[in-house]
Chain A
Amino acid sequence: MSATPAPTEAWPDPTPAPPHAATEFFGWLWYASERDGGTFALEDGSVFTFWVDDRLSFRLPDEDKARAVLTGESEYHVTLRGVHLDLQGAKLPAELKAKDAVDEVLYERTFLLDELWFLVGSLYKRFAAERTSEAWRAEHLPAMRRWAAEQDEVGGG
């Protein structure tokens, strides 16, 4: 006996996310965190800050990652990794502990993860807006290259 519901749609094959959709975002994230002082205004007017806590490491597309810290009223530490923007080692500003009621702990942590995901999504939308704007080639890309060259000089490379 099986109670598994019959599938109502054909199984879609996983569509791989285009690799540049994540890797370009990681580079921009680092650049934007320094360009804007890490301050970011959401559509509702609230503000959060973010900064890249560690060096970005570029290897294979699947291994790209950026470690970022995002703060508003709360502070999140998280590594974004790979083409799916996996969250790794995310530290949530949870107040409840494992010994508290399971449902309360679950709701709090789920809420915080949703908030973190919302913040990442907000940053991604900003990146996408800049990346697809007419000013990208004329302004943003040259500025990023100048910034990258400065980082290279500072780093002694």
Chain B
Amino acid sequence: MGILTGAVSVRRYRAVGSLPEDFRTAFGDALADHAFREPREWLPGVEAVGWCQVHNLLDTDFGDLNRWLYNQYLVAAMRVDKKSLPGKYFKAHLDKRVAAWCQEQGRPKCPGPVKADIKDQLQREMLEKTLPRVATYEFCWDLDSGHVLFHNSSDKVNDAFRKLFRHTFGVALLPWSPLDFLADDPQTAAALEIQGLSDLRPDEVLS
């Protein structure tokens, strides 16, 4: 919970796009539309992704804006759930089921399509009884400055965050570049970019 306690690991973004006039209502509805929801049915390897409150990952109701909007700061967390089955354990059960089918049908071998159906059914049954692996990643959006701090620096997780953010708020996120520090000095930024690239020669580095 880096947003409210502990050490902080963040990637910084700039939000690109204008806020709607009624952003409190619009964003509350948008968060509700993209809130985390337990899937009706789990499929192996498939992730369920959506927003939850930073206070508790089970809180996915965004009706009370006092729980996600603090002055100009919009805070929430991306919740990612995934269920997976232990491979050896699943295979052992599958072999038993296939063997039972063969015995019941009096056939020496189970046809491929039948085995696929048995596997699919077994996956559904076992996934239903399995607890998901749950992860949450917080973010804080300063609506005044347009900066967003996302509390994770994995590229994969950041990609998922940018996608969900864009679909939710209609706003794109640009990852921070060090050159952004030089936004008020474009000449130096351009010179730094060009000089750095022109200097990238092995003989320069190694000499």
> A residues near B, CB below 8 A?
1-9, 11-12, 14-18, 20-22, 24-25, 81-92, 97-98, 102-103, 105-107, 109-110, 113, 117, 120-121, 124-125, 128-129, 131-132, 136
Contact = CB atoms under 8 A, between A and B. Distances in A.
Contacts of B153: 81-82, 84, 86, 88
A21 B174 contact: no
5 contacts: A4-B168, A12-B16, A20-B200, A106-B4, A128-B192
Given A15-B174, A106-B75, A117-B12, A24 B196 contact: yes
Interface of B: 1, 3-5, 7-12, 16-18, 20, 23, 25-26, 28-30, 32-34, 55, 70-71, 73, 75, 140, 142, 149, 153, 162, 166-172, 174-179, 181-182, 185, 188-189, 191-193, 195-197, 199-200
Most buried by B among A14, A24, A90, A107: A14
A3 B16 CA distance: 19
B170 to A, nearest CB: 4
Contacts of A83: 177-178
Contacts, number: 159
B33 A88 contact: no
Nearest to B21: A5
Contacts of B23: 5
Contact of B9 (A8, A88, A102): A88
B27 to A, nearest CB: 8
B154 to A, nearest CB: 10
B21 to A, nearest CB: 10
B197 A20 contact: yes
B176 A109 contact: no
Contact of A110 (B28, B140, B171): B140
A134 B39 CA distance: 61
A85 B176 CA distance: 8
Given A12-B174, A88-B9, A102-B70, 20 more contacts: A4-B169, A7-B170, A8-B17, A11-B166, A20-B200, A21-B177, A25-B178, A84-B175, A85-B12, A86-B10, A86-B12, A89-B7, A97-B5, A102-B4, A103-B71, A105-B5, A106-B3, A117-B12, A124-B178, A128-B192
